[in-house]
Amino acid sequence: GQQLNQSPQSMFIQEGEDVSMNCTSSSIFNTWLWYKQDPGEGPVLLIALYKAGELTSNGRLTAQFGITRKDSFLNISASIPSDVGIYFCAGLPNYGGSQGNLIFGKGTKLSVKP
Amino acid sequence: DTAVSQTPKYLVTQMGNDKSIKCEQNLGHDTMYWYKQDSKKFLKIMFSYNNKELIINETVPNRFSPKSPDKAHLNLHINSLELGDSAVYFCASSRLENIQYFGAGTRLSVL
């Protein structure tokens, strides 16, 4: 079935560093979403992207919808300890169909050392 | 106000039992979902349901069945629980634009 390749799988960084993660697909997506999951909680939407080339920020987070519509990246600037968690990309493929076709990447686990 | 709420948060049960997890959303969304998150944190969709159709991931055993008493609720029933069913189960909901909002999860442990 359809898959998203999300990388890196995990990151260990120092507080204050910038973080970058991305998702790629072999096929075109109409929408890219980035979620964050805190330990013991459900995924929470961070940023939604709807158009190729779109660059959207949410505080220290910036995400872009790739021009080819096959990729997206998420950057976090000046990381802080509460950025710890698992970040998921998710995409809505371009082949239409019914609800529930949102496809998730396997997540990037972020650890921040104070 | 919790937008998508699931109960219980924790569920510990014996193999072979039948259990249910409840989900309610107060967002006015028309589609609800169930996901399973395994120990590696992979999110796998199990069902999506609106008032028109139920879409089942073909890999989900028929021991799992969603039941929707109304648009705001989608409960998950599991029969004859097995050890491999231990996981975190997430409910989610969306409008047509498909941004899904998740509940906090139900941690199921089958002993």
> CB distance A45–B45 less than 8 Å?
no
Establish if B59 touches chain A: CB-CB under 8 angstroms: no
CB burial string B59-85: b at 16+ within 10 A, e below: ebeeebbbebeebbebbbebeebeeeb
Q: Number of Cβ pairs closer than 8 Å across A and B?
A: 58
Establish if B55 touches chain A: CB-CB under 8 angstroms: yes
Task: Answer whether B9's CB lies under 8 Å from B105's CB.
Answer: yes
Separation of alpha carbons A81 and B85, rounded Å: 33
pLDDT at A95: 60
Separation of alpha carbons A90 and A100, rounded Å: 12
Could you tell me what percent of chain B has a pLDDT over 70? 96
pLDDT profile of chain A (114 residues), mean per 10: 86 96 91 94 95 95 95 97 96 62 91 91
pLDDT at A98: 47
Residue A1, C-beta contacts closer than 8 angstroms, at least 6 positions apart? none
Residue in B40, B43, B101 closest to A45 by CB: B101
Task: Answer whether B44's CB lies under 8 Å from B35's CB.
Answer: yes
**Lowest-confidence region among A11-15, A55-59, B24-28, B39-43:** B39-43
